[in-house]
Chain A
């Protein structure tokens, strides 16, 4: 396997847990134990109700395309061979949004509202990234 050169997350704090779940093939977000609000990216307390009590809760992994950009010219050297690619904001059923990518849809075929479902891409032995694929409208 050739060396993976794209940037990787630092597995520190809550981020270690987030990507740890991804490695197990599950998408988890923080959910407030007091008011039930889901949140992403990880935070220390609930910005809605102020509670410090929270749990990692499993997301359905289903959502839809909220918006995206198509990178025609990479502004980071590691992505030069990837163009064109489309960093995409996915809005999950739980209400949180996640920046990711839809793997099986060409950038020019993306549509806002397109239903998608999480898949997992192991990019190194340690890191698995949550990506998405198109699903039929429910």
Chain B
């Protein structure tokens, strides 16, 4: 495993709602990018690969602002929230193939103070998952936004496997509990009980308000390089043992899947674990893309941490809490830290593996998993090792 590409730098901005970041989405991402480059002990000049998040900036813009005058590798993986973790795999492949030496992965947005998801997603066929299919067959019926699309899966799961609102609530409450250990979390200082969760209004039944991720301003970034180069750098390198991506079938239409719960991660996870030569039980923690509570549960199942249908039971009894069998999203996740498009799941995983997670450190953390979820169920996974 010594030849595995490594994450050698991480950077983040502050995360906030009101009054907003006060800067452009590009400036916000550049702040996180410069922090990550500095953390790696590098200068922007040596960044020769950039992988921007879909629709949130072009590699050319990042390079011109930062002074990356030797840009060789520029690519974006168009899988929505699955893109940052998918980009880890692509960046690792790129550095191992000699296509680039230092690859920057930025992501961030003014998700609160800028154009809100609730106002924009359904308006733009070019960026909506499914494109014209959504426009022609979903939007006329008021099926317009992610919590609605995904909640039909959650309801079917409840019907087939007996998953309960209390189990979804346990996920929301656990994320909130973790946020109390993270001073950067937007929900730090604002605890939540299961009763609070159950009392929150229905947004897209079975999704309550508190089943849904935050809308926040913020950015995060990481730098990936080869194992050889990593040995010379300041920060403790975190190895990318393996990575994999997958798409549901069909990926552009959510209702006509023979297997309603088979998503991208169902394909990606066995590949990633197989390549790493480990299984889910060997993992010390998991950072799971938690756009909504059920998506976290569903990914635990499809990644193989438990069997399909057992996710509701799995999240009970403190199993996914810090100190439990599989701590999940120790930073509070998209539900209670901030919505940084999945990039803050990677930075948190790196902090855990460096042993720098301060008041929320997973004792002896050696191997961690990060997942991404995007569009109508695109999936990505990376297995990281200290």
Residue contacts A-B, CB under 8 angstroms, 24 given: A7-B139, A8-B140, A9-B140, A10-B135, A12-B132, A15-B137, A67-B152, A68-B152, A71-B148, A73-B202, A74-B142, A74-B144, A75-B121, A75-B144, A76-B139, A76-B142, A76-B144, A84-B205, A87-B138, A87-B141, A99-B141, A99-B143, A100-B141, A129-B141
- Given that A68-B152, A75-B144 are contacting pairs, would A99 and B138 also be in contact in the complex, using a CB cutoff of 8 Å? yes
Chain B residues in 8 Å Cβ range of A98: 137, 255
Complex Cα distance A44/B66, Å?
45
Chain B residue nearest to A70 in the complex (CB): B205
Assess whether B152 is in contact with A69, with CB atoms less than 8 Å apart.
Answer: yes
Assess whether B204 is in contact with A69, with CB atoms less than 8 Å apart.
Answer: yes
Assess whether B255 is in contact with A89, with CB atoms less than 8 Å apart.
Answer: yes
Assess whether B136 is in contact with A15, with CB atoms less than 8 Å apart.
Answer: yes
Chain B residues in 8 Å Cβ range of A100: 141
Complex Cα distance A68/B201, Å?
17
The contact of A72 among B140, B205, B256, B260, by CB within 8 Å, is B205
Assess whether A87 is in contact with B142, with CB atoms less than 8 Å apart.
Answer: yes
Is B133 positioned at the interface, with any CB of A under 8 Å from its CB?
yes
| 18 more CB-based (< 8 A) A-B contacts, given A89-B152, A98-B255 | A7-B122, A7-B139, A7-B144, A9-B137, A10-B132, A15-B137, A66-B255, A69-B148, A69-B155, A69-B205, A72-B204, A72-B205, A79-B144, A87-B138, A96-B256, A98-B137, A112-B156, A123-B140
CB distance from A75 to the nearest CB of B (A): 4
Chain B residues in 8 Å Cβ range of A12: 132
Give per-residue flags for A3-43: 1 if the beta carbon is below 8 A from chain B beta carbons, else 0: 00011111010010000000000000000000000011100
Closest 9 CB pairs of A and B: A75-B145, A70-B205, A9-B136, A87-B143, A7-B139, A72-B202, A76-B144, A67-B156, A69-B151
Complex Cα distance A87/B137, Å?
11
Chain B residues in 8 Å Cβ range of A70: 202, 204-205
Chain B residues in 8 Å Cβ range of A89: 152, 255
Complex Cα distance A39/B206, Å?
28
Query: In chain B between 110 and 139, which residues have their CB closer than 8 angstroms to a CB of chain A?
Result: 118, 121-122, 132-133, 135-139
> Considering only CB atoms and an 8 Å cut-off, how many residues of chain B contact the other chain?
36
Give per-residue flags for A39-73: 1 if the beta carbon is below 8 A from chain B beta carbons, else 0: 11100000100000000000000000011111111
The contact of A97 among B144, B202, B255, by CB within 8 Å, is B255
- Given that A9-B136, A71-B142, A87-B142 are contacting pairs, would A40 and B256 also be in contact in the complex, using a CB cutoff of 8 Å? yes
Query: In chain B between 133 and 174, which residues have their CB closer than 8 angstroms to a CB of chain A?
Result: 133, 135-145, 147-148, 151-153, 155-156, 159
Chain A residues in 8 Å Cβ range of B151: 69
Is B253 positioned at the interface, with any CB of A under 8 Å from its CB?
yes
The contact of B253 among A41, A73, A74, by CB within 8 Å, is A41
Chain A residues in 8 Å Cβ range of B139: 7, 76
Assess whether B205 is in contact with A9, with CB atoms less than 8 Å apart.
Answer: no
Is B203 positioned at the interface, with any CB of A under 8 Å from its CB?
yes
Give per-residue flags for A108-126: 1 if the beta carbon is below 8 A from chain B beta carbons, else 0: 0000100000000001000
Assess whether B205 is in contact with A6, with CB atoms less than 8 Å apart.
Answer: no
Assess whether B137 is in contact with A75, with CB atoms less than 8 Å apart.
Answer: no
The contact of A7 among B135, B145, B256, by CB within 8 Å, is B135
CB distance from B86 to the nearest CB of A (A): 24
Chain A residue nearest to B207 in the complex (CB): A69
Assess whether A85 is in contact with B142, with CB atoms less than 8 Å apart.
Answer: yes
- Given that A9-B136, A82-B142 are contacting pairs, would A67 and B148 also be in contact in the complex, using a CB cutoff of 8 Å? no
Assess whether A87 is in contact with B135, with CB atoms less than 8 Å apart.
Answer: no
Chain A residues in 8 Å Cβ range of B253: 41
Chain B residue nearest to A110 in the complex (CB): B155
Chain A residues in 8 Å Cβ range of B147: 69, 75
Chain A residues in 8 Å Cβ range of B152: 67-69, 87, 89
CB distance from B329 to the nearest CB of A (A): 24
Assess whether B155 is in contact with A67, with CB atoms less than 8 Å apart.
Answer: yes
Chain B residues in 8 Å Cβ range of A67: 152-153, 155-156, 159, 260
Assess whether B203 is in contact with A79, with CB atoms less than 8 Å apart.
Answer: no
Query: In chain A between 80 and 113, which residues have their CB closer than 8 angstroms to a CB of chain B?
Result: 82, 84-85, 87, 89, 96-101, 107, 112
Complex Cα distance A75/B155, Å?
19
CB distance from A28 to the nearest CB of B (A): 14
Chain A residue nearest to B139 in the complex (CB): A7
Chain B residues in 8 Å Cβ range of A76: 122, 139, 142, 144-145
Query: In chain B between 58 and 107, which residues have their CB closer than 8 angstroms to a CB of chain A?
Result: none
Assess whether A87 is in contact with B156, with CB atoms less than 8 Å apart.
Answer: no
Complex Cα distance A74/B207, Å?
13
Centre residue among A6, A41, A97 by max chain B CB count within 10 A: A41
Complex Cα distance A59/B255, Å?
18
Chain A residues in 8 Å Cβ range of B141: 87, 99-101, 129
